[in-house]
Each structure stands twice: as structure tokens, then as C-alpha cells.
Structure 1
Amino acid sequence: MTANRVLVVEDDPALRILMLRTLRENGYEATGVGDGVEMGRSLEAGTFDLVVLDIMLPGGNGLDLCRALRARSAIPIIIVSARGEEMDRVLGLEMGADDYLSKPIGQKELLARVRAVMRRGSAPAAAGEPRRDRARFAGWTLDLRGRALFAPSGARVELSGAEHDLLVGFVDHPQRVIGRERLLELSRGRLGEATDRSIDVLVSRLRRKLGDDEAALIRTVRGVGYSFAVPVERD
């Protein structure tokens, strides 16, 4: 079995070496670069399963790199921000990142985040759960096996891993009010502190992808969470 390939974009040589060593010792094929230019060259030269991207980089903003990469690729992205910089994390999620790490980075948390993002792309259905390959709602079709979303026109709409998993959480619980913490459990597992705005950012991103400007599909239940307001058919 081929090892998952991870590209680490970090300008601090000591931290980069530590992250690479941690990943390699745990079965990942990890490559490290120090800036956005090297990142671009590496992505052109090879295929990666995940990018760990520092926000503060010489000669280029990691948030801009995240947005540019997400515009052309669905590769999972974990951004790295300074501790306490909640706005950086929120902006990173708005730019399309799937998760984030706060500095200083612990080896166990690094592995946990990487494994969680990797699992989201390959997790099988729970034991005894019937196979349901498609979910249909309001003219939209979500191909669960292919992890693809199709608009009523038939056009494919690209989703990041986090956006896809959030949508799956909604279509699995249609027309029910779901709290923010429960949505995190359904779609991403633990993500940051209880006060983190990440789920609101993800909902906003998903609404834009669905053209849900009037919140007709995903309704906000003030003080509680959200509700997927339309019926869902499964086949």
C-alpha cells in the first residue's frame, strides 16, 4: 500500500524538520518546503494527499496560497497559525482550508489532525448501515460514494473535504435542528475551542456553494444551531 504523501510548507527550519520527522516515523511520505514558490514547484512535480500550510511565510501570505490552491484543487489543506490568532483560523477556513493547527505544534496533535483529515476522504459506512450512494434534495444530488455534488443543472460543484462532510451531516439529519457542537461531531470531529466560529464559517461556505442566499436550505436557528430545511431522498 502506498503511503499518504504530505507536503509541509513551513519557513521555520527547526519546526519543519520536527514535523517531517513526526510524519515519516508514523508512516507518511512527507516533503518539506520553505515558501510558496517551492510549494508551487512541488505541487507541479508530484501528487500529494494533504498540504500542511503555515500562514506566515516569506514572500507570500499563506492565506492567499490557500485560496489559490483551493480554487484549482480539492486537496485537503491544514493551515498553521500562531496561538490565539482566531481570526487567522477563521480566514483560513473561509479560504477553503479543511482544518488548522495552532503553534506551538504538539506531535500528537499534528498526527491526530492529519489522520482525521485523511479519514474524512476514505471512511467506510458504519457496520450495519445500509449502503446509500446518493442523496437528493431541492434538485441537487450528492454522490456519497464519489464525494461529488451536482447542481440542479447537472453541473458539478466542487466541495472541500470539510464542506462535503458538513453537507453529509445535514442530509443525514434533514428537517431537524442540530447544534453547532453536534455538527462538528457529525462533520469534522473536534475542532478548536467551544467558542470557535469554525462551524459558522463552514456553513457560510456551504451556503455559497449551494446558492443558498436566502437560507432556504440551511436555516439558522438563533442561539441553537442550524436546520437542513428540505426533505432528502436517499438511494
Structure 2
Amino acid sequence: MLIVADDLDFAEELAEGLGSKGFQVQQESDIRPALEKSRNVDAVLLDLTLSDVDGFEACRALRATSHVPVIVMGLQDDEFDQVLSFKLGADDYVVRPCSLRKLAARIEAVNRRARNSWGLPAEPEDEIHEFGPIRIDMNRRMVLRSGREVMLTRKEFDVLALLATNPGRVCTREQIMSEVWGHDGAGDTRTLGVHMTGLRKKLGMPMLIETVRGVGFRLAVHRASEGEAA
């Protein structure tokens, strides 16, 4: 676990708290050595309020350097900051101050998702789901639209994969948050919405994923042919 923050009092307190939870913690206040260390840690906690570099640029640099899970820490519950963080490849966004128990759960969740995404052997047979022009290759974690690859973040793919394995069925918000993020999303009303918006836009078929008001989302398989004709 690597904490990247130049607020030394905050970083020391956080490192001590996470250490008491069983995490092995390293600290860096400068993004350049942090990029090197990120290749050898399980996750990175990135404070957006760095003084030597823009926090969003630091997030972009971390994602370009390695596939390590990145949890961004911001000082405000700002939708723009969250959207931009996710677009730059962050796996989660938490608002400072955050309870140590909640933060530890979020770290464990992103680590678990990362292990499942990269650490398991491929299935012996291809698992392909097709909905009109959309082709989802589960083993290769690849999505194509009309033969062209759609570049999704890890979380966007995980959400789409969950919906694709339950076509036409409603997946509740709690179910999606639990299976993709590892928690039920209590008190977090934006994360899933941000990812759904990005996913619909990238797929180019906004009506393929239907919102079931007050419940959750489903893959509208009856609309797949509409996208094929678009």
C-alpha cells in the first residue's frame, strides 16, 4: 500500500491507522518516486491536493505507469472531481476525512477486484456475449462495437459484464455496487451513476442499458437490433 500525499501530518496519521489494520504502508510526497514504487504495491491512495503536481495529472501518470488500483482522496464531494478521476483511471474516490474502517473496506474491495480481473486463469472455452453490434469477450475483457474495440475502464467493464450475464434481468444498485465495488454503496449516490453515464456514451447505444427507477439497471436486449441499425 502506497500513500501519495504531501500533507505529512495527514499521511502519517493515515499510515499509522492503516498499519493498525494490518496493511503494510509506504509513503511518498513526490509523484516521481511514487511512480516507481507503484509497480511493487497492491494499491495507491492518491491525495488530489498535491503541491508539486496537479492531482489529476498524477492519477493519469499512475495509470499510464502501472495497473495498480488507485483510490483518489479528495477534500470535497464534487461530481466533477469524481467524474474526472474515474475517466483518468481511478478505481475509487473517497472524500477526506473518511473513517478508517470504511477506507480499509474500500482498499480491500479494489484489491479483490484487481485480483479477480488479472489473477485468475482464463476459462478453457471462450465466453462471448453479443447484443446487436456489441460483442463482449469475457475472457479477454474486451468489448467491440461493429468490430471496433471500445476502450472501457476496469470498473466499466465489470459493470457491463454483470449486466451481460443477466440479460433482460434487473440488477439492483446494491447488487452492482457489492459485486463490482465490494460494498453496498450506502451513502454513495454518484459513483454508479458516473460509471453508467460513461459506459452508455462509450458504447454509443445509450438505450441498451435501461434504468429501472428506484431499483437498478438492466441490459435491454430488445434494443440491441436498434443499435445495429444506427
Superposition TM-score tier, normalisation by shorter sequence: 0.7 to 0.9
Q: TM-score, normalised by structure 2?
A: 0.74
Indicate the residue corresponding to 1:89 in structure 2. 82
Indicate the residue corresponding to 1:28 in structure 2. 23
Q: Number of aligned pairs?
A: 214
Moved more, 151-160 or 178-187: 151-160
1:165-200: CA deviation from partner (whole Å, max 9, x where unpaired): 212321232113444444323422233625x22112
Query: For the Cα contact (< 8 Å) 1:180–1:226, is it kept in 2?
Result: yes
Q: TM-score, normalised by structure 1?
A: 0.73
Q: How does 1:204-223 map to 2 (within 5 A)?
A: 204-208=197-201, 211-221=202-212
Where does structure 1 lack aligned partners over 5 or more consecutive residues? 1-5, 125-130
Tell whether 2:216 aligns with 1:228. Answer: no
Q: CA distance change for structure 1 residues 72 and 222 in 2, over 3 Å: closer, same or farther?
A: farther
Q: Which amino acid aligns with 1:229?
A: A
Moved more, 60-69 or 223-232: 223-232
Q: CA distance change for structure 1 residues 90 and 155 in 2, over 3 Å: closer, same or farther?
A: closer
Q: Which runs of 4+ in 1 moved over 4 A?
A: 152-159, 220-225
RMSD of the TM alignment (CA)? 3.3
Moved more, 100-109 or 215-224: 215-224
Q: Which amino acid aligns with 1:30?
A: V
| Cα distance in structure 2, aligned partners of 1:227 and 1:149 | 20
Give the 3-state SS of the residue equivalent to 1:136 in structure 2. strand
Give the 3-state SS of the residue equivalent to 1:79 in structure 2. strand
| Cα distance in structure 2, aligned partners of 1:70 and 1:204 | 21
1:190 aligned to which of 184, 190, 202: 184
Indicate the residue corresponding to 2:161 in structure 1. 168
Moved more, 84-93 or 168-177: 84-93
Indicate the residue corresponding to 2:94 in structure 1. 101
Q: Which amino acid aligns with 2:10?
A: L
1:110-155: CA deviation from partner (whole Å, max 9, x where unpaired): 211111111123359xxxxxx99724223523335x6x22436877
Query: For the Cα contact (< 8 Å) 1:74–1:158, is it kept in 2?
Result: no
| Cα distance in structure 1, aligned partners of 2:130 and 2:156 | 16
Q: Which amino acid aligns with 1:81?
A: G
User: Which has more helix, going by share of residues?
Assistant: 2
User: Which has more strand, going by share of residues?
Assistant: 1
1:88-111: CA deviation from partner (whole Å, max 9, x where unpaired): 234322332111222123321221
